[in-house]
Amino acid sequence: MRSILLVAPHNSYRIHAYIEAASHLNVELVVASQSEYSLVSAVADGIQIDFNNDATSLERILSANQTYHFKAIIASDDGSVRLAAKAAQMLGLSFNDPASVELTRRKDLARIRLKTLGVPTPDFRVVSLLKGIPAQLQNLQYPVVVKPLAMSGSRGVIRANNQQECLSALSRVEKIIAHLDDPDERQGVLIEAYLSGKEVAYEGLLHQGELKQLAVFDKPEPMEGPFFEESYYITPTRLKGNEQKAITVCVTQACEAYGLREGPVHAELRLDGDSAFLIEMASRTIGGDCSNMLKFGLNIGVEELVLLQALGQPVDIPELSNSAGVLMIPIPSQGILRRVEGIAQAKKIPHITDIGISVREGYELVPLPEGSSYLGFIFAKAATPLLVEEALRAAHACLKIVVLPAFKIKAQ
């Protein structure tokens, strides 16, 4: 049986999807992660690595390769792409160059690369938290967006409309990134011009430098800040042909600029007339459980496509058989989740295919910009994107999320 190595944080939403995909394809999936006590057996029984120690992790992967003889390596999340790239390079397996995937993880380095190669990008600067802040904000044109250098899921991303708001946002982000190990990522913050216009997401696959589109997602909720919580993703897109072409051109240019040649690509973009601007791009599949809505041809999922391509067996990508969408259920407020009411009623809404709550009752909810997870997901499929959107909105309206205040006691 062919073996594939999946490098993944122990709490990744995507591990289960890849395990199921590997089972469907009769492929042995070995998980390299950092939790030997995980409740997921594939993680607990897999290769125990340390994402903060590349040398030790690579040594353990090399040792495991003597047993499994890996045919391919894939990464599940932004936090695992760098190590996966180094492991693939060490074993001589097809993957993106480590320097290229680092650009998908570090927003500041990506902006510098795009600007250097002439790819349209918003004005930006990196602010050092170790130096006087006001002096670094001189001549800044507002509104702007303040971002950590290396976080995903809109965590720490804040819009600021003036200097006072910018200083407040920087102070808030400083607390969010204070725990990071990398000193550059802990001491620097990216500030870039706010781009108005519609926001969309792009999902694709690269093989030997050729980009194939899987889906373009509309985001019908305005993404105007002050925080940028993801909510609705609906495909196929309802954008005009010229707008779709601009998206494809922008993502293709960005892949070439980064030097990406293999594997999944997930990009976020803003549209301004006939022009598309890259917000960020990752060398992994769509986040959360969202890939569950994408089934191609004979019920082939995104993860199956990624695994087949990693094994050197890329397949022609058929169109989706219908319209699909997901709502990443927003967290209404900070506190302790008591319960979610109305799920049974929401499931009865026509075109709703599934509803999943990711947070257990009794656990704390932390909204953006400090939070990093979703409350849950609502999925829908229908004949048209409009029917999908209407179903998701109707189902969400059925839910009542009961949150109790959280009281933290400080030790004296």
Q: Is 47:64 a contact under the CB 8 Å cutoff?
A: yes
Res 296: pLDDT = 58
107 within a domain of the structure (yes/no) = no
Domain boundary among 304, 321, 338: 321
Distance CA 333, CA 353 (A): 26
Q: What total number of domains does the chain contain?
A: 4
Distance CA 135, CA 133 (A): 6
19 within a domain of the structure (yes/no) = yes
116 within a domain of the structure (yes/no) = no
- Do 353 and 383 lie in a common domain? yes
158 within a domain of the structure (yes/no) = yes
- Do 284 and 361 lie in a common domain? no
- Chunked into runs of 10 residues, the chain (412 residues) has average pLDDT values of 95 90 95 84 91 96 97 96 97 96 97 95 97 97 98 94 98 97 97 96 95 96 95 96 96 98 97 92 86 70 92 81 92 96 98 94 94 93 97 98 84 61
301 within a domain of the structure (yes/no) = yes
Q: Is 328:310 a contact under the CB 8 Å cutoff?
A: no
- Do 315 and 328 lie in a common domain? no
Task: Write phi, then psi, for 268 (nearest 5 degrees).
Answer: -115, 130
115 within a domain of the structure (yes/no) = no
83 within a domain of the structure (yes/no) = yes
111 within a domain of the structure (yes/no) = no
- Do 291 and 371 lie in a common domain? no
Q: What is this structure's pTM? A: 0.94
CATH code of the domain in which 290 resides = 3.30.470.20
- Do 234 and 296 lie in a common domain? yes
H helix runs in 259-378, sequence order: 302-310, 343-347
User: DSSP per residue over 84-106, as a string?
Assistant: HHHHHHHHT-S---HHHHHHHH-
Range of the domain at 285: 198-321
